[in-house]
Chains A and B, each alone.
Chain A
Amino acid sequence: MNANSNVRSGNPLTALRRTVGGYTDGVRDWWATAPGWARWTVYALLIALAIVAPSDAIGSFMSPHSHWASLLFSPIGTYVLLAVGLNVVVGQAGLLDLGFVAFYAIGAYTMAIFGTKYGWTFWPVLVVGIFMTAVSGIILGSPTLRLRGDYLAIVTLGFGEIVRITAQNTEYIGGSRGITNIPHPEPIFGVEFFLDPLPYYYLLLAAIILVVVFAKRLERSRVGRAWEAIREDEDAAELMGVPTFKFKLLAFFIGAMIGGLTGVIWASKVIAIQPPNFPFILSATILAAVVLGGSGNLPGVMIGAFLIAWLPERFRGFADYRILIFGAALVLMMALRPEGLLPPRRRRAVASAGGTKPETSAASGDEAGGDRPAEEVAK
Chain B
Amino acid sequence: MLLEIKDIHVHYGKIEALKGVSLEVGEGEIVTLIGANGAGKTTTLKTISGLRNLSSGSIVFDGKDISRLPGHKRVLVGIGQSPEGRGVFPGMTVTENLLMGAYARRGDFSKDLDEVFELFPRLAERKNQHGGTMSGGEQQMVAIGRALMSKPKVLLLDEPSMGLAPMLVAQIFSIIKRINERGTTVLLVEQNAQQALQLAHRAYVLETGTVVKSAPAADLLDDPQVREAYLGGALGQH
Q: Which residues of A contact B (CB under 8 A)?
A: 222, 225-226, 228-229, 232-233, 235-244, 344, 346-347, 349-350, 353, 355-356, 358, 361-362, 368, 372, 375-376, 379
Q: Which residues of B contact A (CB under 8 A)?
A: 49-51, 70-73, 75-76, 80-81, 83, 87-93, 100-101, 103-105, 128-130, 132-136, 139, 146-147, 150
Q: A225-B100, A232-B92, A350-B130 are in contact. Are A239 and B136 (CB under 8 A)?
A: no
Inside 8 A of B146's CB, which chain A residues have their CB? 240
Q: A241-B75, A241-B76, A242-B72 are in contact. Are A356 and B103 (CB under 8 A)?
A: no
- Please give the distance in Å from B238's CB to the nearest CB on chain A: 37
A235 touches B87 (CB 8 A): yes
**Pick the contact of B49 from A239, A244, A362, A368 — CB < 8 Å?**
A239
B103 touches A241 (CB 8 A): yes
Residue of A nearest to B70 (CB): A243
Inside 8 A of A353's CB, which chain B residues have their CB? 130, 132-133
A241 touches B104 (CB 8 A): yes
B150 touches A241 (CB 8 A): yes
Kindly list 4 other residue pairs between chains A and B, CB separation below 8 angstroms, not including A239-B49, A239-B147: A240-B146, A244-B72, A356-B90, A361-B132
B87 touches A238 (CB 8 A): no
A379 touches B128 (CB 8 A): yes
- Please give the distance in Å from A211's CB to the nearest CB on chain B: 24
Going nearest first, the 8 A-B pairs with the smallest beta carbon separation are A241-B104, A236-B87, A241-B75, A350-B132, A353-B133, A356-B90, A232-B89, A356-B132
B104 touches A240 (CB 8 A): yes
- Please give the distance in Å from B198's CB to the nearest CB on chain A: 26
Residue of B nearest to A236 (CB): B87
A-B contact pairs, 24 of them (CB 8 A): A222-B103, A225-B100, A228-B91, A229-B100, A232-B91, A232-B92, A233-B87, A233-B88, A235-B51, A235-B87, A236-B83, A238-B72, A239-B71, A239-B81, A239-B87, A241-B72, A241-B75, A241-B104, A242-B72, A346-B93, A349-B133, A350-B90, A350-B132, A375-B130
**Pick the contact of B51 from A239, A358, A376, A379 — CB < 8 Å?**
A239
Inside 8 A of B147's CB, which chain A residues have their CB? 239
Inside 8 A of A379's CB, which chain B residues have their CB? 128
A232 touches B90 (CB 8 A): yes
Inside 8 A of B75's CB, which chain A residues have their CB? 239-241
- Please give the distance in Å from B145's CB to the nearest CB on chain A: 12
